[in-house]
Chain A
Amino acid sequence: MSLLELDDVKVHFPVRRGLLFDRVVGYVHAVDGVSLTVEAGRTYGLVGESGCGKTTLGRAVLRLTDITSGRVLFDGTDLAALPGEAMRRARRRLQMIFQDPLGSLDPRQNIESALTEGMAAHGLGDGRAGRRARIRDVLERVGLPAGALSRYPHEFSGGQRQRIGIARALVLEPDLIICDEPVSALDVSVQAQVLNLLEELQDSLGLTYVVIAHDLAVVRHISDRVGVMYLGGLVEEADSDTLYAEPRHPYTRALMSAVPVPDPDLEDNRERILLRGDLPSPASPPAGCRFHTRCPWRQPERCDTERPELTDIGGGHRVACHYAAGIADGTVRPTTELAPRVLRDVPPPREAAEPARETMTDG
């Protein structure tokens, strides 16, 4: 059963200029027609690099930014059409976890006040005692001591702050939690604690997650289904394992080959597709396929003019590339002009014999 369904969602930000009074001179196409479905009790991962619109999309679902067009169906209701007060009430069931655990907590608010605020806004919990009991229960779930209640955000470590952020969402008993880069601001060892906690909570509470992250490894680890975004649109969507085993879009392949793996043997021997250049500006996205300016497999004409649709190539694997099939079976070859250095030709680095004392090579 699908809990959340996005249908051709667009978010365009006006660009204003003007001396005395602002005039709209153009639009940034932050999210440009995204359709996807999130199943209840599952985790949907959205991955992409900065500027691809993944964060904007997450905020658009909660209507924290205005949706330009499209529908956001949550459990049958179109959130995009809800009036303000009804949307505010709907947020009890849709919660969000933020990237910066310190920045997303009011520095002047102690933890108890931060956790009760949501309940007060939605009229939950019977009285003070009831709310307190609920808070204590949630604190225990996320692994924080009850003594944390009277303390302030700056007195906690990064991981603990993120736990507070999670607790704040949990007290409202939401159905869906949007996790916007939930671990990217944390230290590696703490990242794993938070990821495990998110998984445990899903198992015990039946939560549905949308996890937004730039780190493909994190997204793959936690998600059942993964959507890859590039410049405001989905370019590929598949089950987590399928996407990893058979990435079909050239951008997904490049992204996957760029993620470093903590394994020297793999690092030395794997196929590497280096992309040329940078992300084009979302204020004036390229015509045709958004990726054609950097695509190693770009073909003349069609890629520059026709925007590929996200099409199902079987088993729910959707790809937005005209030549996905051709690239996969090798009939479409990388064009010479932007040819990627596919196989790394560098000899494996020398092993340092004794790194901390004497060294081996003689200049």
Chain B
Amino acid sequence: MTLLSVEELSVTFTGRDGGRRGPGTDAVCGVSFTVAEGEVAGLVGESGCGKSVTSLALMGLLPRRGVRVGGRAVFRHSGPDPVDLLSLPPAALRDLRGRQLAMIFQDPLSSLNPVVPIGVQVTEVLTRHRGLRGRAARAEAAHLLERGGIPDPTRRLKEYPHQLSGGMRQRALIAMAVACAPRLLIADEPTTALDVTIQAQILELLRELVDDQGTALLMITHDLGVVAGICDSVHVLYAGKVVEAAGRRALFAAPAHPYAHGLLGSVPRLDAPRGERLHPVRGSINDRLSWPDGCAFAPRCDRYTLECLDATPELTALPGATGGHLVRCVHPVGNEGSAAADTPTEREASA
């Protein structure tokens, strides 16, 4: 059953930002996706693609001034009627956050209060959302930490965030996030700051949560390896729009958007034979068009033709693919027939 359905989410930063004046920057422009119960959905992209802004918008954590949020995010909470997270009054949203919606961040140290012991921070959540107090709250907190894989939890409860290692802190945060068995957990780059052996532990923990509790997980990451390991469905973001969406097997087997294709070609693989050259995407995120002018990726794309500049490409089903493989591209990779029919730009320009 669909738990969260995001429709045409857009986030625009207006006003002056760091001295820049302008009509506003579109961080996210029309992102749609759904997350089902017990599903792990991945938002993938590089810095500046809008993936973190999307998560903050869903949690209502964007600053109110200078930000314009549009679209809908229908969340089926445990109550009778689904609610739109984007138009919910702050008090109601606060109530939902922590109990039904939880989030973990990239940097566990800055998400914890440095001067309050871990135990107090965990019990606080339990008191606020589950009404537990005193000894019962402490016992439950210890239980949660233990389930998060923290050894000797009763001792850890008395410690301060700086006394824990990075992995422990992330575990503590996850313990806090799942304290009330939320229906949806948003994880924003949860393992980026951690070492790979610790990352493996955390990913395993998240996987267990999803399998045991049926929690839906929205995984935001730049790491394609992490996506391949944990996500059921993948949404690749570029310049604030979903450019490709597919089940993970379909995506990794045959990425259709040139950007997704390029990303996969850029990652050095542990199992690739040595000496094989990588195939990077040229340029950087700064070289992009604005979507109304055509495909934002065109300046970095090897396959672009004039059709790419006609209008914003639509997110459509990939021709010939089975089931829900969507791509926003005029000349998807692996669909050479139609691409060859068009004259490449260089030739046309020189003619």
Contact = CB atoms under 8 A, between A and B. Distances in A.
Nearest to A195: B278
A260 B233 contact: no
A191 B282 CA distance: 11
A193 B33 contact: no
Interface residues of B, number: 76
Interface stretch (A72-80, A325-333, A347-355): A347-355
Interface stretch (A118-126, A129-137, A274-282): A274-282
B281 interface: yes
Contact of B286 (A50, A157, A216, A279): A157
Interface string A100-121: 0000000000000000000000
B248 A49 contact: no
A244 B36 CA distance: 38
A354 to B, nearest CB: 3
Given A261-B225, A264-B248, A353-B324, A360 B200 contact: no
Given A221-B272, A361-B37, A356 B324 contact: yes
Interface in B237-251: 242, 245-250
Contact of A187 (B47, B226, B250): B47
Contacts of B226: 260
B118 to A, nearest CB: 15
B315 interface: yes
Contacts of A356: 32-34, 233, 235, 242, 245, 315, 324, 326
- Which of A160, A352, A357 has the largest number of chain B CB atoms within 10 A? A352
Contact of B2 (A222, A256, A264, A359): A359
B197 A255 contact: yes
Contact of B200 (A190, A191, A272, A350): A272
- Which of A351, A355, A360, A361 has the largest number of chain B CB atoms within 10 A? A355
Given A188-B224, A351-B249, A352-B233, A193 B34 contact: no
Interface in A178-199: 187-193, 195-196, 199
Given A49-B197, A352-B39, A260 B223 contact: yes
A349 B40 contact: yes
B167 A192 contact: no
Nearest to B149: A276
Contacts of A216: 196, 270
Nearest to B323: A353
A258 B168 CA distance: 18
Contact of B199 (A195, A240, A258, A349): A258
A127 interface: no
A220 B268 contact: yes
B228 A264 contact: yes
A193 B195 contact: no
B280 A277 contact: no
B204 interface: yes
A264 B278 contact: no
Interface string A44-72: 00000110000000000000000000000
Interface in A311-363: 341, 346, 349-363
Contact of A188 (B195, B248, B267, B270): B267
A355 B225 contact: no
Given A189-B46, A259-B196, A359-B39, A218 B268 contact: yes
Given A220-B274, A263-B252, A355-B246, A188 B269 contact: no
- Which of A214, A356, A359 has the largest number of chain B CB atoms within 10 A? A356
A355 B324 contact: yes
A349 B227 CA distance: 12
Contacts of A254: 197
A357 B282 contact: no
Contacts of B224: 188, 262
A38 B12 CA distance: 52
Given A159-B284, A188-B263, A274-B200, A360 B36 contact: yes
Contacts of A349: 40, 230-232, 248
B285 interface: yes
B195 A49 contact: yes
Contacts of A188: 46, 222, 224, 263, 266-267
B151 A264 contact: no
Contacts of A257: 200
B41 interface: yes
A190 B262 CA distance: 11
A278 B225 contact: no
A190 B286 CA distance: 12
- Which of B36, B204, B211 has the largest number of chain A CB atoms within 10 A? B36
B211 to A, nearest CB: 7
A60 B50 CA distance: 40
Nearest to B287: A157
B255 to A, nearest CB: 10
A65 B126 CA distance: 48
Interface in B143-195: 151, 165, 167-168, 195
Contacts of A264: 228-229, 248-249, 252
Interface string A265-277: 1110000101101
Interface string A152-165: 00000111100000
A214 B223 contact: no
A199 B243 CA distance: 31
A192 B280 contact: yes
29 contacts: A49-B198, A187-B285, A188-B266, A189-B46, A189-B263, A189-B281, A190-B280, A191-B266, A191-B268, A192-B267, A192-B281, A217-B268, A220-B270, A259-B270, A260-B226, A262-B264, A263-B252, A263-B271, A275-B200, A275-B201, A278-B165, A350-B232, A351-B232, A351-B247, A355-B233, A356-B242, A356-B315, A358-B2, A363-B37
5 cross-chain pairs, A with B, having the tightest CB-CB distances, nearest first = A260-B225, A354-B324, A355-B233, A192-B280, A192-B266
Interface of A: 49-50, 157-160, 187-193, 195-196, 199, 214-218, 220-222, 240-241, 244, 254-267, 272, 274-275, 277-279, 341, 346, 349-363
Given A49-B198, A214-B196, A352-B247, 20 more contacts: A49-B196, A158-B284, A159-B284, A160-B284, A188-B266, A217-B269, A220-B270, A221-B269, A221-B272, A272-B200, A274-B200, A279-B165, A346-B207, A351-B250, A355-B235, A355-B245, A355-B247, A356-B324, A358-B34, A363-B1
